[in-house]
Structure 1
Amino acid sequence: MQGMSNTASETYRSEYAEQIARLTDLRDRRIEQAFATVPRENFLPPPPWTAISVGIATRTSDVAGIYDNVLVAIDRKRGINNGEPALHAAWLDEVCPQAGETVIHVGAGLGYYTAILASLVEPHGCVEAYEYEADLAAQASQNLRAYSHVKVHGESAFGRPLPKADVIYVNAGVMAPDVEWLKALKPGGRLIFPWQPHEGWGPAIMVRRLEGGFSATPLMTVGFISCSGTEDEHASKSLPNEADLASVRSIWPTSERLPDETAVAVYDQVWFSSGVVGS
């Protein structure tokens, strides 16, 4: 920012990255380094910014105000934010992107977490970033122009074949994951997404492609803006309750395995099971 030295910005970022690492008890210290390196202000609208913490919004033009574990509004009318850094750090620690891997980022927004992902797969990796909102996709392309290994797609990542990927990182809530996401995972690939069968909330689900199927692990409860450009899918039975959500251990394409007595929630193309892969 004009009037602020690079040294001051680097100091803010370093302290912020240390804070995020403490809050999440990071195992992969490369993630801390990525947060310390990528300038958050380069992936936000111009100041003044609106920082949001525990539902309280604060307007600030001081860059120090965005180097904290806060949401920062991108478009409040549309409910679009630059998400909470500690949550993303925890997710990144779960999916563990590695140098040379291919990542699909669904719901890239203005590209901040895309840039974090891009830094984690260097060298020789790549990120395919999808953003349905045309104005955000155009701005993300500009914000990420220095990242030659990132390609921004101004379209939905739902309902279409996708490139084969080691990691699929979804930053928009869905009633059910797209079966194409499962198909795109390479052996050993990881998918993390907010499963929101109840309006506005649900567990983050960590999926791994194993030899015998797709394991699924519920993580923390989250609330994300719904994925744009999707067709609603409705469960064929009553919505899963909290105990059902916590019991999920695998997910299956209906084309590969039909629902059985372990089914927790059944959708047109995928279903969630309380049974483990291999059972």
Structure 2
Amino acid sequence: MDRQYELAIVRRAFARRLMAAAGIANPGIEAAFATVERERYLGPGPWPILRSIGYIPTPDDDPVHLYADILIGIIPERGLNNGMPSYHVPLLASADIRAGEHVVHIGAGVGYYTAIMARLAGPAGRVTAIEFDTGLARRAAANFSHASNVQVFQGDGFSMSFDPADVIYVNAGVTHPADIWLDRLNDRGRLILPLTSERTWSPDGATLISHYGAVFRIERQGDDYFAAWISAVGLYPCEGGRDRASEAALDAAFQKGGWRAVTRLYRAADLPDDRCWLRGTQWALAYD
């Protein structure tokens, strides 16, 4: 059997398993995971796979090892990984990237999930990928050197300017949304926002989780921002996207619970306490 044909079968099976495990039927996302070659973005193997005892290299450089729901180290000495596909499937489904849209990917890493987004946006759409780490940004830029619908920039995605976007997909943990993300979100645009706390705590009363957080989908409708919880998350912190006061407020919000009931993001902080899950500086996540 031709090797590329064999790998194509492996990728299709990988994509089918991901969608089934997530309980999501989305032909576009499934086709993207079945088509995009993970090894193309991670470079030559063997690859460091994060296990419970640390990073373990794959036995060899066969790309078949990459088509599983695993974390793969991209800077393992710093704990930076190419993320779990099962984490991204429901977020991508919630982002609902459509053909022709402009997507901004904050925290693009080496670009594997950027490529998934570019596949969803199609040749008529485009992806602006922003990566803080200089080395990773350089690798991502090389990976997309021949792509017509992806631009890679090195910089702080929390403050860097970009064109108005239909989807802003944040792939690093923040304590609050950046003003520019809310400002540059088009009408009916979607922001995927992971809010994470540094404190180790127990969300279910039994299991300790470090860097625990919650991912919200924020949709802009005119001057209103509607919010919905998507999933729990433990994520690498966003450079520039954290401060002590916001950290303390977010930690207190997680401890009191209620994040799944959040329905609105307000660009004001003067809401009654009983309506707020999290109150920031000139913004709040609230229940109605």
Give runs of ≥4 in structure 1 deviating > 4 Å: 53-57
Q: 1:228 to 1:98 in 2, by over 3 A?
A: same
**1:221-277 CA distances to partner (integer Å, 9 max, x unpaired)?**
1100001233525248572125232332211223xx6333322222224221122xx
Structure 2: 5+ residue stretches without partners: 200-210
Give the partner amino acid of 2:252. Answer: L
* 2:29 matched residue in structure 1: 31
* 1:95 matched residue in structure 2: 95
Count of residue pairs brought into register by the alignment:
270
Mapping of residues 57-68 of structure 1, within 5 Å: 57-60=55-58, 61=60, 62-68=62-68
Mapping of residues 65-84 of structure 1, within 5 Å: 65-84=65-84
CA distance in 2: counterparts of 1:94 and 1:54, whole angstroms: 29
Deviation at 1:211, TM superposition (A): 3.5
Residue of 31, 40, 43 corresponding to 2:41: 43
Q: 1:252 to 1:55 in 2, by over 3 A?
A: farther
CA distance in 2: counterparts of 1:242 and 1:142, whole angstroms: 45
* 1:206 matched residue in structure 2: 217
CA RMSD of aligned residues (A): 2.0
Mapping of residues 4-153 of structure 1, within 5 Å: 5-52=3-50, 57-60=55-58, 61=60, 62-153=62-153
Give the partner amino acid of 1:35. Answer: F
Deviation at 1:12, TM superposition (A): 1.6
CA distance in 2: counterparts of 1:230 and 1:88, whole angstroms: 20
Bigger drift between 38-47 and 260-269 goes to: 260-269
Aligned partner of residue 243 in structure 2, secondary structure: coil
Aligned partner of residue 192 in structure 1, secondary structure: strand
Compute the TM-score of the two structures, normalised by the length of structure 2. 0.87
Greater helix share, structure number: 2
CA distance in 1: counterparts of 2:52 and 2:284, whole angstroms: 34
Q: Percent identity?
A: 32
**1:61-108 CA distances to partner (integer Å, 9 max, x unpaired)?**
232211011111111111111111121111111111000000000000
Counterpart contact for 2:175–2:241, Cα < 8 Å: no
* 2:267 matched residue in structure 1: 253
Compute the TM-score of the two structures, normalised by the length of structure 1. 0.90
Counterpart contact for 1:132–1:229, Cα < 8 Å: no
Give the partner amino acid of 1:243. Answer: G
Structure 1: 5+ residue stretches without partners: none
Deviation at 1:212, TM superposition (A): 5.1
CA distance in 2: counterparts of 1:260 and 1:173, whole angstroms: 27
